């Protein structure tokens, strides 16, 4: 029996709004947990098959040595985390990883490079990678730092489907986490990506010491963009020794689930990705996140440089929950 896109009889479609106020987002966070979960699941079923989860694989194609000072990031050259600066991977090596990801069930292949922004000569090589991955029949995503409109256009011409550029947190808390790139610069890159015709992947990180008001501010900002991001990754902070946030207290798991649910309600047609931090989440917590409207995960033992559950564990969990990989 299929319950795809099911909802209560006579349910009306959820309008997509781009004018969410912080008070409205706060009211969702303040709902009793059962009411919030019910509404998130209702919205989710109006737009997605509740049994499908989109599977992506993320590969670090250029690791370490980043000049930025993002307080959560082990790839920053400013922190001693044991991550060494490496050169950009070869085309053949990247395509070999993409073939393995496809064989393991991934439908989207994401490539991340630890740059503030790509140099044009590096972009030439990344564009060749995008073309090669597309030729394998996979969706493509890249996260390379800030982009100019011209660079975004080149990536579009190479066939890039998605570009990831997270806002990370609220405008007010942002300066506590990053000083080498402004919030305005992040928004400008999103504008360049959108203008080039590339789908936007944009979310944030929770558990960095921010208040609930900052989680509210982040979601209100995302949900008030002229077009919602097609993909919204919600990351739980991975505390890495050597970074300024290594000793940050863990976020209440139910607060994380609330964040997923509110993102689902405010951005009803976006794919909400349960991203970094799953290695530290119980299976029960992940199950609640799926119930709250998360319908995408990163697949494989590592996300850039941090641990992630193995493929076998993920597939066993999805099977126990009656979930299946989303086809492209």
Q: Which residues are catalytic?
A: 66, 70, 73, 110, 141, 201, 273
Q: In whole angstroms, how far apart are CA 293 and each of 36, 59, 63, 269, 297?
A: 11, 25, 32, 11, 12
Contact in structure between 88 and 125 (CB atoms under 8 Å): yes
Q: Give phi and psi for 54, each to the nearest 5.
A: -75, 130
Distance from the Cα of residue 202 to its chain's centroid: 6
**H or E segment to which residue 112 belongs:** strand 108-113
How many residues belong to the chain?
A: 328
Q: Tokens in use for 137?
A: 């029949």
Cα atoms in the Cβ-side hemisphere of radius 13 Å centred on 58: 26
Q: In whole angstroms, how far apart are CA 50 and each of 27, 38, 43, 264, 319?
A: 25, 13, 10, 13, 14
């Amino acid at each position: 029996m299929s319950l795809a896109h099911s909802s209560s009889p006579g349910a009306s479609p959820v309008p997509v709004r781009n004018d969410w106020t912080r008070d409205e987002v706060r009211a969702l966070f303040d709902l009793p947990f059962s009411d919030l979960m019910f509404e998130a699941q209702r919205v989710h079923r109006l737009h997605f098959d509740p049994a499908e989860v989109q599977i992506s694989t993320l590969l670090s194609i250029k690791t370490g040595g980043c000049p930025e000072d993002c307080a959560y990031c082990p790839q920053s050259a400013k922190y001693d985390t044991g991550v060494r600066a490496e050169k950009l991977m070869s085309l053949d090596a990247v395509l070999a990883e993409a073939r393995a990801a496809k064989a393991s069930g991934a439908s989207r292949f994401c490539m991340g490079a630890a740059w503030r922004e790509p140099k044009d000569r590096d972009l030439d090589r990344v564009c060749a990678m995008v073309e090669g991955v597309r030729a394998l029949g996979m969706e493509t995503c890249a996260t390379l730092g800030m982009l100019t409109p011209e660079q975004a256009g080149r990536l579009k011409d190479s066939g890039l489907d998605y570009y990831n550029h997270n806002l990370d947190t609220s405008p007010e808390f942002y300066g506590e986490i990053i000083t080498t790139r402004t919030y305005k610069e992040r928004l400008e890159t999103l504008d360049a990506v959108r203008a080039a015709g590339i789908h936007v992947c944009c979310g944030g990180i929770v558990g960095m010491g921010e208040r609930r008001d900052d989680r509210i501010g982040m979601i209100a900002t995302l949900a008030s963009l002229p077009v919602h991001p097609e993909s919204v990754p919600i990351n739980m902070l991975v505390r890495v020794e050597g970074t300024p946030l290594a000793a940050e207290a863990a976020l209440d798991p139910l607060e994380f689930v609330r964040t997923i649910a509110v993102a689902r309600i405010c951005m009803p047609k976006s794919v909400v990705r349960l991203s970094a931090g799953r290695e530290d989440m119980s299976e029960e917590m992940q199950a609640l996140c799926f119930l709250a409207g998360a319908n995408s995960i990163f697949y494989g033992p590592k996300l850039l440089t941090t641990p992630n559950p193995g493929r076998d564990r993920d597939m066993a969990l999805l099977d126990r929950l009656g979930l299946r990989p989303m086809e492209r």
